[in-house]
Structure 1
């Protein structure tokens, strides 16, 4: 081999070695996860479990950053941000998605009002849930890596005055989004006021709302009693869940082993999160009561009566929101078979 060829080969080998010795940070692929709840919220903690599990399986492949408290995007903007490549992952609530895909509103329909958590899981974790995920993936161009996270049972909270079925009329009630949420409030006599979660404490202190629908854990982690919340009405008006979404472009460029690692990591995380979400709700309720929160608990008969009243608006909602009536009826029948009274 000539001296010139030796030099060429030597330069090539040096270049190859340099590329193999590149620092991990140079080779890392960004994975930005946007949440609009704060770091101590159970959803955020569940996502941190997912991140830890994914790092165990993929090492330094990804540069993962979780952006809490709406720093990057609010839940309502996640589908668009994923399509545009502005974020790689989000876990928005179902109630934030019906403007993009009408079937996302199914859990907000009156037929789910006051339905207990085990029954919701039974209906939505099976074939119906798989169908909804397929619809979401196609419509929003995302990958849903597994089961939905739990937030917890959503109730109605009062700021300066008590709220129950007798005092609901005329009250300005904050809701997080979702046509179904607004419709339920209106049917019960309240005035729905749309306020994004990060703006709730300021809105409460400024008198924008007389009450709000949320969960105990969300109210506790955001210290809403410091902003004037004094009452709770345990009307169990909806079981809130979060849908994990990964950018379709990000997902498709990952090799099979990395995709499997993501799915495995999510399964571990969502199992942990679901269990701890319900524990967090119970603990938050206890803590808020200890801080002076007054809780009004309606009877099961009252909740059933409210559900029957709300069912009067369901056919109109399904038509207006362009929800598939066949799927709606299938879920309705599944709920009845599970023992829900209508």
Structure 2
């Protein structure tokens, strides 16, 4: 092959790669711009570094929120606090990251609440089905007295909890058939987290819940080890589940928040001024991250539909059929979680 021919081939390959990159970029959901930082520079002594680990990927709303957090903290500390982001479970899964906070080898993480139930039993509240009928109700609870009580509960065991963000509503996908009623779930093998309430929900609905790690899920769906799974829309898209799942139902059956945690060992070394800066930044990050995730949902659903996935939106009557079917789950867990707490949350949705 001559040098000229090699150059042409190289150029063609480069152009093809650029074209593929452009297609991938066009396919990615468009995120709202990161806001400008508001507020004066915070004056305090010392220089600090924060390693911030999350399990989700860079393509999700959570990472976008972390970028805003990084921007706020670095600008308002005038560079005296540097934030380094580690997405995609590079430093371990949610429980491993929390353990690293407790030992002081990691400064921050933001897991979903579900894996933390064994450590904080009241967090099982967030796994109850259809507890938050709308995002506004979720915001009202998390940003109010109940949310603060939960942050206080989590500020133990070597951790300091400073804010909430959103993992979002979980939706059902499967490879067998359209699901519009609980009867359609009979015998369906649905991958769930290793979470006792989630297992209870799907058994009560008539499905066959199958716990497994998220890392194994795509292959399990592809090979038919399980028929379906349940995750927020953005996770369904970023994980390419539409390639191995033909049907999706917008069930909104469980709303899961992210909780922003700091290592108590690191927190105790921060001046009070910087502690308040982190609290402020976590609150602003949470508000922005929720906005990002919610603004992307309609676009993601359309993208999934365009890819060939059949998406079913349930009527209020169909949702009620699912709610009625899982009512026993509340009775099963009322004493363990706390009936008064459950009633407080339910009152917020009336």
TM-score normalised over the length of structure 2: 0.81
Superposition pairs for residues 94-243 of structure 1, below 5 Å? 94-110=113-129, 112=131, 115-138=133-156, 140-146=157-163, 148-164=164-180, 165-226=182-243, 228-243=244-259
Q: Match of 1:66, SS? A: strand
1:296 aligns with 2:296: no
**Runs (5+) with no aligned partner, structure 1:** 1-26
Q: State the Cα distance separating 1:307 from its structure 2 match.
A: 1.3
Superposition pairs for residues 30-69 of structure 1, below 5 Å? 30-69=49-88
Q: Match of 2:314, SS? A: coil
For 2:325 and 2:176, locate their aligned partners in 1 and report how far apart those are by CA, in whole Å.
Answer: 27
Deviations 1:24-50 (A, max 9, x none): xxx854321111111111111111110
Q: State the Cα RMSD in Å.
A: 2.0
Which protein has the larger Cα radius of gyration, Structure 1 or Structure 2?
1
**Runs (5+) with no aligned partner, structure 2:** 1-45
Deviations 1:50-99 (A, max 9, x none): 01111102234344322111111112333322112232111111212111
1:325 aligns with 2:344: no
Indicate the residue corresponding to 1:309 in structure 2.
325
Indicate the residue corresponding to 2:264 in structure 1.
248
Indicate the residue corresponding to 1:14 in structure 2.
none
Q: How many residues align?
A: 304
TM-score normalised over the length of structure 1: 0.83
Q: Which moved more, 1:163-172 or 1:211-220?
A: 163-172
For 1:301 and 1:85, locate their aligned partners in 2 and report how far apart those are by CA, in whole Å.
Answer: 50
Q: Which residue of 282, 303, 317 maps to 1:287?
A: 303
For 1:79 and 1:162, locate their aligned partners in 2 and report how far apart those are by CA, in whole Å.
Answer: 38
Q: Match of 2:68, SS? A: helix
Q: State the Cα distance separating 1:160 from its structure 2 match.
A: 4.5
For 1:36 and 1:199, locate their aligned partners in 2 and report how far apart those are by CA, in whole Å.
Answer: 15
Q: Which moved more, 1:210-219 or 1:63-72?
A: 63-72
Pair 290,111 (structure 1): closer, same or farther in 2 beyond 3 Å:
closer
